[in-house]
Structure 1
Amino acid sequence: MSATAISTSGSLLSGKPLRAVAAVILIVNGLFPALWILLTSFKTEAELTLKPITWLPHAPTLQNYMQAFADQPLLIFLFNSFMVALLSTALTLLISVLAAYALARLNLRFRGLIMSLIIAVSTFPLVTLLVPLFETMRALDLLNTWTALILPYTVLSLPVCTLVLTSFFEGIPRDLENAAMIDGCTRFGALFRVVVPLSAPGVFTAGILAFVNSWDEFLLALSFNSNPALRTLPVGIQLYQGEFAFPWPVISAALVVGIVPVAVLIVIFQERVVSGLTAGGLKG
């Protein structure tokens, strides 16, 4: 193939039409499932079984939302999920800030090996960790408690949060910390008064990632908790299905209720999260 042909094909692959197609595919793949769930939540059971499929609800109804709250303690599920996600996120940020600072600032002998291990650990499938985690929680008598979920969620979120924060901390000039310590700050004081505030986009990004990871998790929440009063939202939603019935409109309404808090959180902190992801990628 000639150099001209290679150059032409390269320009086509990087051209605007291809980027537009890729953007459309990403938007459809990301938005269509959520939009379909939202539309289904306003349909009746009868309309959902019509053929051909109706895209928009003919007679929108809020009955599914009322039934979702009436059939199951949805507010309790939301509260449990929120508290578990919030506490695990706070613990994750505290530990990952300290770990990232050590990796970014201290002259660790095996820093490269530690970073490689962090990346390797983050690739472990969750199902392979289920039995060891369950046995650990049972030995510690933590089953059917929030702690049984908070601790594993923290461990699962630590690798990615540590990597994100390490990238940010490396971009903070050491002179700022030295100046703070000359003024009387300890190293911990310089960390939390200088480094962390200057890395706010990275901290917000790590926090959002940890929160969403905890909010959406299903397998551990199902395995470690059999107490109905402590069920989280993902586990609670699967209780809507019966032995011979699968009420999709009601389930869709419950899903919408579960999606809204995370969506609102991301919208509020959208700029910080985007800047955190892009800046972290550039620094890394």
Structure 2
Amino acid sequence: MNAEAPTQHSFLSGTPLRILVGLILVVNGMFPALWILFTSLKTEAELTAKPITWLPHAPTIANYLRAFTDQPLLLFLFNSFMVAILSTALTLFISVLAAYALARLQLRARDLILSAIIAVSTFPLVTLLVPLFEIMRALNLLNTWVALILPYTVLSLPVCTLILVSFFEGIPRDLENSAMIDGCTRIGALFKVVVPLSAPGVFTAGILAFVNAWDEFLLALSFNSNPMLRTLPVGITLYQGEFAFPWPVISAALVVGIVPVAVLIVIFQERVVSGLTSGGIKG
């Protein structure tokens, strides 16, 4: 019994278990994306055939051509990109200032503010829909990009601020003081010293804000009825007919929508991973 116990402990805490857990996570994360990709390469006849085929027997790109011709997919992509990039820029600007104030200024209510930020970030989006709609209607902002940019900014601010606070707290104050002695203002020291040194955290916050805005559906559907301003998540729902769902075409449109985010994450993968791990350690 004593000889078997170390072996069991070694398996549960060693490399084999890590590989098994890693494979489970990869399969769980990749399977839906792969299924959408395979579906986008099938014909409707093959998709509905029995028994189900996992891989397309005769891959076709016709669904991708239909995705661009049946609906103005390029317009949806452009609207989503503009809304996401503008809301991300605004989120980063505000969250940098807020995080710096929480990390550097001697605020008596600092812990209370951080607790409030965490509490606000837990509110379900559906509970905010009606108040946000009434605000946008009162400001006459419905059917504009601003009606989406402002809520997306507000919704991403709590998480982005918390990420940046942990990074800013790890930057020595002496670096800022040296910059201010050389003639920088406090704001100048923030953007010339603190922000560049916190690049992994800034990239992580930016990616999260961009993905949240890119994927959001409920507000985009509720605040915008102008066909020329529809974002990608709402535009994809237009491919369905009254009595039919062209799943191969819808899947092709989904793949097109996934590609920009996937490319963005691949390009900044190292910075995002560094940001998440460093923020977790510092927090």
Give the counterpart letter for 1:81 in structure 2. S
Q: Distance between the aligned counterparts of 1:246 and 1:177, measured in 2?
A: 58
Equivalence for 2:76: 77
| Residue type of the alignment partner of 1:26 | L
Q: Which one is further off, 17-26 or 224-233? A: 17-26
Aligned counterparts of 2:152 and 2:27: Cα–Cα separation in 1: 30
Within 2, Cα distance between the matches of 1:161 and 1:4?
50
Could you tell me which residue of structure 2 aligns to residue 222 of structure 1? 221
Q: Give distance in 1, aligned partners of 2:93 and 2:183.
A: 23
Q: Secondary structure of the equivalent of 2:118?
A: helix
How do residues 1-284 of structure 1 correspond to structure 2 at under 5 angstroms?
Answer: 11-284=10-283
Give the whole-Å Cα distance in 2 for the aligned partners of 1:10 and 1:131.
53
Q: Distance in 2 between matches of 1:131 and 1:19?
A: 45
Alpha-carbon distance in 1 for matches of 2:253, 2:278: 36
CA shift for structure 1 position 18: 2.3
Distance 1:16 1:71 in 2: 50
Q: Judging changes above 3 Å, is the alpha-carbon distance between structure 1 residues 156 and 5 closer, same or farther for their aligned structure 2 residues?
A: farther
SS at match of 2:143: coil
User: Which is worse superposed, 52-61 or 97-106?
Assistant: 52-61
**SS in structure 1 at match of 2:59:** coil
Pairwise CA distance, 1:10: 5.7
CA offset digits 1:76-114 (Å, max 9, x no partner): 000000000000000000000000000100011011111
Look up the equivalent residue of 2:218 and give its one-letter code: L
Amino acid at match of 1:72: Q
What is the TM-score normalised by the length of structure 1? 0.96
Unaligned runs of 5+ in 1: none
Q: CA deviation at 1:11?
A: 4.9
Give me the CA root mean square deviation: 1.7
Measure the CA separation in 2 of the matches of 1:245 and 1:193. Answer: 56
**Separation in 2, partners of 1:91, 1:7:** 54
**CA–CA distance in 2 between the matches of 1:215 and 1:72?**
18
Measured in 2, the distance between the counterparts of 1:157 and 1:51 equals: 44
Say how many residue pairs are matched. Answer: 283
Return the offset for 1:186: 0.5
With normalisation by structure 2, the TM-score equals: 0.97
Which runs of 5 or more residues in structure 2 are unaligned? none
3-state SS, counterpart of residue 200 of structure 2: helix
